[in-house]
Amino acid sequence: MSGSLRTQVGQLAHRSILRTLRQPAQIVPSLVFPLFLLAVNAGGLKDATNLPGFPTDSYITFILAVPFIQGALFSVMNSGTDLARDIETGFLNRLALTPLRGAALLSGLLAGAFVLGVVQAIVYLSVGLLAGADLAAGVGGALVIVLLSVSITVAFGTIGLFAALRFGSGEAVQGLFPVFFVFLFLSAMALPLDLLTTDWFHTIASINPVTYLLQAFRSLLIEGWNVGDLALGFGIAAAIGTLGMLAASSALKTRLVRT
Protein backbone atom coordinates (compact mmCIF):
# COMPACT_ATOMS: atom_id res chain seq x y z
CA MET A 1 0.00 0.00 0.00
CA SER A 2 1.47 3.40 -0.97
CA GLY A 3 1.97 6.13 1.65
CA SER A 4 -0.73 8.26 0.07
CA LEU A 5 -3.31 5.47 0.13
CA ARG A 6 -2.36 4.61 3.71
CA THR A 7 -2.93 8.21 4.77
CA GLN A 8 -6.28 8.36 3.00
CA VAL A 9 -7.49 5.09 4.54
CA GLY A 10 -6.21 6.22 7.94
CA GLN A 11 -8.07 9.52 7.84
CA LEU A 12 -11.34 7.93 6.79
CA ALA A 13 -10.93 5.07 9.26
CA HIS A 14 -10.36 7.55 12.07
CA ARG A 15 -13.53 9.42 11.09
CA SER A 16 -15.51 6.18 10.80
CA ILE A 17 -14.38 4.92 14.21
CA LEU A 18 -15.11 8.21 15.95
CA ARG A 19 -18.49 8.39 14.29
CA THR A 20 -19.40 4.90 15.49
CA LEU A 21 -18.18 5.46 19.04
CA ARG A 22 -20.02 8.78 19.31
CA GLN A 23 -23.37 7.25 18.41
CA PRO A 24 -24.78 5.22 21.32
CA ALA A 25 -27.81 4.57 19.10
CA GLN A 26 -25.54 2.40 16.96
CA ILE A 27 -23.73 0.60 19.74
CA VAL A 28 -26.42 0.01 22.39
CA PRO A 29 -29.05 -1.79 20.27
CA SER A 30 -26.40 -3.97 18.66
CA LEU A 31 -25.36 -5.14 22.13
CA VAL A 32 -28.68 -5.20 23.98
CA PHE A 33 -30.95 -6.79 21.39
CA PRO A 34 -28.83 -9.91 20.70
CA LEU A 35 -28.19 -10.40 24.43
CA PHE A 36 -31.91 -10.14 25.18
CA LEU A 37 -32.70 -12.79 22.57
CA LEU A 38 -29.83 -14.91 23.92
CA ALA A 39 -31.38 -14.80 27.39
CA VAL A 40 -34.89 -15.58 26.12
CA ASN A 41 -33.81 -18.39 23.81
CA ALA A 42 -31.45 -19.92 26.35
CA GLY A 43 -34.25 -20.02 28.91
CA GLY A 44 -37.11 -20.95 26.60
CA LEU A 45 -35.44 -23.64 24.55
CA LYS A 46 -33.40 -25.31 27.28
CA ASP A 47 -35.42 -28.53 26.92
CA ALA A 48 -34.20 -28.91 23.35
CA THR A 49 -31.06 -30.50 24.84
CA ASN A 50 -33.26 -33.48 25.76
CA LEU A 51 -33.78 -34.28 22.09
CA PRO A 52 -31.83 -37.36 20.98
CA GLY A 53 -28.77 -36.27 19.01
CA PHE A 54 -28.52 -32.76 20.44
CA PRO A 55 -24.78 -32.03 20.47
CA THR A 56 -24.48 -30.59 23.99
CA ASP A 57 -26.35 -30.60 27.29
CA SER A 58 -25.96 -26.82 27.60
CA TYR A 59 -28.36 -24.90 25.39
CA ILE A 60 -26.69 -21.58 26.14
CA THR A 61 -23.45 -22.97 24.69
CA PHE A 62 -25.33 -23.93 21.55
CA ILE A 63 -27.27 -20.67 21.15
CA LEU A 64 -24.30 -18.42 22.02
CA ALA A 65 -23.28 -18.53 18.36
CA VAL A 66 -26.39 -16.55 17.37
CA PRO A 67 -25.57 -13.11 18.89
CA PHE A 68 -22.38 -12.95 16.82
CA ILE A 69 -24.44 -13.15 13.63
CA GLN A 70 -27.13 -10.78 14.93
CA GLY A 71 -24.41 -8.29 15.86
CA ALA A 72 -22.96 -8.59 12.37
CA LEU A 73 -26.40 -7.81 10.93
CA PHE A 74 -26.33 -4.54 12.81
CA SER A 75 -23.11 -3.65 11.02
CA VAL A 76 -25.02 -3.76 7.70
CA MET A 77 -27.27 -1.07 9.12
CA ASN A 78 -24.57 0.98 10.78
CA SER A 79 -22.03 1.13 7.97
CA GLY A 80 -24.76 1.56 5.35
CA THR A 81 -26.63 4.26 7.25
CA ASP A 82 -23.44 6.25 7.86
CA LEU A 83 -22.50 6.20 4.19
CA ALA A 84 -26.08 6.96 3.13
CA ARG A 85 -25.99 10.00 5.39
CA ASP A 86 -22.76 11.11 3.68
CA ILE A 87 -24.54 10.77 0.35
CA GLU A 88 -27.68 12.57 1.52
CA THR A 89 -25.74 15.45 3.06
CA GLY A 90 -23.47 15.83 0.02
CA PHE A 91 -20.31 14.82 1.88
CA LEU A 92 -19.58 12.09 -0.67
CA ASN A 93 -19.80 14.68 -3.46
CA ARG A 94 -17.18 16.74 -1.68
CA LEU A 95 -14.97 13.68 -1.29
CA ALA A 96 -15.38 13.03 -4.99
CA LEU A 97 -13.69 16.38 -5.69
CA THR A 98 -10.56 15.24 -3.84
CA PRO A 99 -7.95 12.81 -5.23
CA LEU A 100 -9.29 10.16 -2.82
CA ARG A 101 -9.25 6.63 -4.19
CA GLY A 102 -12.39 4.50 -4.13
CA ALA A 103 -10.59 1.66 -2.34
CA ALA A 104 -9.53 4.08 0.42
CA LEU A 105 -13.06 5.31 0.86
CA LEU A 106 -14.58 1.84 1.18
CA SER A 107 -11.84 0.43 3.39
CA GLY A 108 -11.87 3.46 5.65
CA LEU A 109 -15.62 3.31 6.08
CA LEU A 110 -15.37 -0.26 7.34
CA ALA A 111 -13.13 0.74 10.26
CA GLY A 112 -16.19 1.61 12.35
CA ALA A 113 -17.66 -1.83 11.64
CA PHE A 114 -14.33 -3.42 12.62
CA VAL A 115 -14.22 -1.66 16.01
CA LEU A 116 -17.87 -2.40 16.67
CA GLY A 117 -17.23 -6.04 15.73
CA VAL A 118 -14.44 -6.31 18.30
CA VAL A 119 -16.58 -4.72 21.05
CA GLN A 120 -19.57 -6.92 20.23
CA ALA A 121 -17.55 -10.13 20.12
CA ILE A 122 -15.90 -9.48 23.49
CA VAL A 123 -19.20 -8.53 25.14
CA TYR A 124 -21.19 -11.48 23.74
CA LEU A 125 -18.50 -13.99 24.61
CA SER A 126 -17.98 -12.60 28.12
CA VAL A 127 -21.71 -12.53 28.88
CA GLY A 128 -22.16 -16.02 27.48
CA LEU A 129 -19.33 -17.47 29.54
CA LEU A 130 -20.54 -15.69 32.67
CA ALA A 131 -24.00 -17.15 32.05
CA GLY A 132 -22.54 -20.65 32.04
CA ALA A 133 -21.66 -21.39 28.43
CA ASP A 134 -18.77 -23.76 27.72
CA LEU A 135 -15.79 -22.95 25.52
CA ALA A 136 -14.28 -26.25 24.45
CA ALA A 137 -11.45 -24.66 22.45
CA GLY A 138 -10.13 -22.72 25.44
CA VAL A 139 -8.41 -19.32 25.38
CA GLY A 140 -7.13 -19.78 21.84
CA GLY A 141 -10.69 -20.53 20.80
CA ALA A 142 -11.86 -17.27 22.35
CA LEU A 143 -9.38 -15.36 20.18
CA VAL A 144 -10.52 -17.20 17.07
CA ILE A 145 -14.17 -16.47 17.97
CA VAL A 146 -13.35 -12.75 18.17
CA LEU A 147 -11.47 -12.93 14.86
CA LEU A 148 -14.30 -14.80 13.16
CA SER A 149 -16.89 -12.42 14.56
CA VAL A 150 -14.97 -9.38 13.31
CA SER A 151 -14.49 -11.01 9.88
CA ILE A 152 -18.23 -11.60 9.56
CA THR A 153 -19.10 -8.13 10.86
CA VAL A 154 -16.80 -6.45 8.34
CA ALA A 155 -18.02 -8.73 5.54
CA PHE A 156 -21.65 -7.85 6.29
CA GLY A 157 -20.61 -4.19 6.54
CA THR A 158 -19.62 -4.26 2.86
CA ILE A 159 -23.22 -5.17 2.01
CA GLY A 160 -24.35 -2.07 3.92
CA LEU A 161 -21.91 0.04 1.90
CA PHE A 162 -23.18 -1.44 -1.34
CA ALA A 163 -26.81 -0.77 -0.36
CA ALA A 164 -26.03 2.81 0.60
CA LEU A 165 -24.18 3.48 -2.67
CA ARG A 166 -26.80 1.73 -4.76
CA PHE A 167 -29.88 3.36 -3.20
CA GLY A 168 -28.40 6.53 -1.68
CA SER A 169 -30.91 6.56 1.16
CA GLY A 170 -30.69 5.63 4.83
CA GLU A 171 -34.31 4.50 4.79
CA ALA A 172 -33.56 1.97 2.04
CA VAL A 173 -30.61 0.63 4.05
CA GLN A 174 -32.81 0.28 7.14
CA GLY A 175 -35.31 -1.62 5.02
CA LEU A 176 -32.68 -4.32 4.44
CA PHE A 177 -32.62 -5.27 8.12
CA PRO A 178 -35.65 -7.59 8.03
CA VAL A 179 -34.39 -9.17 4.82
CA PHE A 180 -31.18 -10.20 6.53
CA PHE A 181 -33.06 -11.47 9.55
CA VAL A 182 -34.81 -13.90 7.21
CA PHE A 183 -31.42 -15.49 6.51
CA LEU A 184 -30.79 -15.89 10.22
CA PHE A 185 -34.20 -17.32 11.06
CA LEU A 186 -34.16 -19.73 8.11
CA SER A 187 -30.92 -21.30 9.28
CA ALA A 188 -29.97 -23.89 11.90
CA MET A 189 -30.20 -21.08 14.43
CA ALA A 190 -32.18 -22.75 17.19
CA LEU A 191 -31.57 -26.43 16.48
CA PRO A 192 -28.76 -28.35 14.77
CA LEU A 193 -29.26 -29.11 11.08
CA ASP A 194 -29.83 -32.82 11.80
CA LEU A 195 -32.74 -32.00 14.11
CA LEU A 196 -34.61 -29.81 11.63
CA THR A 197 -37.36 -32.30 10.97
CA THR A 198 -39.43 -30.22 8.53
CA ASP A 199 -38.09 -31.22 5.11
CA TRP A 200 -38.38 -27.89 3.30
CA PHE A 201 -36.91 -26.02 6.26
CA HIS A 202 -34.01 -28.47 6.41
CA THR A 203 -33.35 -27.94 2.70
CA ILE A 204 -33.33 -24.15 3.02
CA ALA A 205 -31.15 -24.23 6.13
CA SER A 206 -28.72 -26.60 4.36
CA ILE A 207 -28.07 -24.11 1.55
CA ASN A 208 -28.16 -21.04 3.79
CA PRO A 209 -24.56 -19.85 4.42
CA VAL A 210 -25.58 -18.52 7.85
CA THR A 211 -25.94 -22.14 9.02
CA TYR A 212 -22.23 -22.71 8.38
CA LEU A 213 -21.20 -19.41 9.98
CA LEU A 214 -23.08 -20.54 13.10
CA GLN A 215 -21.46 -23.95 12.87
CA ALA A 216 -17.98 -22.40 12.85
CA PHE A 217 -18.71 -20.67 16.18
CA ARG A 218 -20.34 -23.81 17.59
CA SER A 219 -17.38 -25.98 16.68
CA LEU A 220 -15.19 -23.86 18.96
CA LEU A 221 -17.77 -23.65 21.73
CA ILE A 222 -18.92 -27.29 21.75
CA GLU A 223 -16.33 -29.54 20.06
CA GLY A 224 -12.97 -27.82 20.35
CA TRP A 225 -10.93 -27.43 17.16
CA ASN A 226 -12.62 -28.49 13.95
CA VAL A 227 -10.52 -27.18 11.08
CA GLY A 228 -13.11 -28.00 8.43
CA ASP A 229 -15.91 -26.03 10.13
CA LEU A 230 -13.60 -23.09 10.82
CA ALA A 231 -12.28 -23.01 7.25
CA LEU A 232 -15.84 -23.03 5.95
CA GLY A 233 -16.87 -20.19 8.32
CA PHE A 234 -13.89 -17.99 7.46
CA GLY A 235 -14.24 -18.88 3.79
CA ILE A 236 -17.89 -17.81 3.69
CA ALA A 237 -17.03 -14.57 5.51
CA ALA A 238 -14.24 -13.89 2.99
CA ALA A 239 -16.54 -14.65 0.06
CA ILE A 240 -19.29 -12.34 1.36
CA GLY A 241 -16.72 -9.60 2.04
CA THR A 242 -15.13 -9.94 -1.41
CA LEU A 243 -18.46 -9.95 -3.24
CA GLY A 244 -19.68 -7.04 -1.11
CA MET A 245 -16.56 -4.99 -1.83
CA LEU A 246 -16.76 -5.69 -5.56
CA ALA A 247 -20.43 -4.70 -5.61
CA ALA A 248 -19.75 -1.59 -3.51
CA SER A 249 -16.81 -0.56 -5.74
CA SER A 250 -18.98 -0.89 -8.82
CA ALA A 251 -21.82 1.07 -7.17
CA LEU A 252 -19.33 3.75 -6.08
CA LYS A 253 -18.11 4.19 -9.65
CA THR A 254 -21.68 4.49 -10.90
CA ARG A 255 -22.58 6.99 -8.19
CA LEU A 256 -19.52 9.16 -8.83
CA VAL A 257 -20.24 9.15 -12.56
CA ARG A 258 -23.80 10.26 -11.78
CA THR A 259 -22.46 12.96 -9.48
Partner 1 sequence: MSAPGTAEPRTATMSTVGRAVAWRSIHNFLTNPAFLIPSLLFPLFFFVSFAGGLAAIGEVPGFDFPSGYTAFQFVFVLLQSAAFGGVFTGFAMARDFETGFGRRYMLAASHRSGIVLGYGLAALFRAFVTWTVLTAVALIAGMDVGGSAGEIVALYALAILVNVAATMWAAGVALRVRSIQGGPLMQFPTFLILFLAPVYVPLDLLTGWIHTVASINPVTALLEAGRGFISGDPVLVGLAFAIGIALSLLFAFWARGGLRSAEAAG
Stretch that binds partner 1, among 120-128, 160-168, 193-201, 230-238 (CB under 8 A): 193-201
Q: What letter would DSSP give residue 224? A: S
Residue 47: is it exposed, middle or buried by C-beta count within 10 angstroms (0-12/13-18/19+)? Answer: exposed
User: Is residue 24 at the binding interface for partner 1, with CB under 8 A as the rule?
Assistant: no
**Residue from 21, 37, 103, 118 in contact with partner 1 (CB under 8 A):** 37
User: Is residue 45 at the binding interface for partner 1, with CB under 8 A as the rule?
Assistant: yes
Q: What minimum distance in Å lies between the beta carbon of 179 and partner 1?
A: 10
Give one DSSP letter per residue of 148-212, joined into a string.
HHHHHHHHHHHHHHHHHHHH--HHHHHHHHHHHHHHHHTSSSSS-GGG--SHHHHHHHHH-HHHH
**Residue from 24, 50, 98, 257 in contact with partner 1 (CB under 8 A):** 50
Rounded to 10 deg, the angle between the 102-109 and 111-130 helix axes is 20
Smallest CA-to-CA distance from 113 within 143, 83, 72 is with: 72
User: Is residue 46 at the binding interface for partner 1, with CB under 8 A as the rule?
Assistant: yes
Smallest CA-to-CA distance from 192 within 70, 68, 69, 52 is with: 52
Secondary structure class of 118 (helix, strand, coil): helix
Q: What minimum distance in Å lies between the beta carbon of 40 and partner 1?
A: 5
Question: Quick one: 107 or 211, whose CB is closer to partner 1?
Answer: 211
User: Is residue 91 at the binding interface for partner 1, with CB under 8 A as the rule?
Assistant: no
**Residue from 21, 95, 96, 201 in contact with partner 1 (CB under 8 A):** 201
Residues 38, 19: Cα–Cα separation, whole Å: 28
Q: What minimum distance in Å lies between the beta carbon of 53 and partner 1?
A: 9
User: Is residue 73 at the binding interface for partner 1, with CB under 8 A as the rule?
Assistant: no
Question: Quick one: 182 or 238, whose CB is closer to partner 1?
Answer: 182
Stretch that binds partner 1, among 36-44, 101-109, 152-160, 215-223 (CB under 8 A): 36-44
Q: Residues near 155 by Cβ (< 8 Å), separated by ≥ 6?
A: 72, 237, 238, 240, 241, 244
- Number of residues in contact with partner 1 under rule CB under 8 A: 30
What does the per-residue mask of binding to partner 1 show for 203-222, with x meaning CB under 8 A?
A: --x-----------------
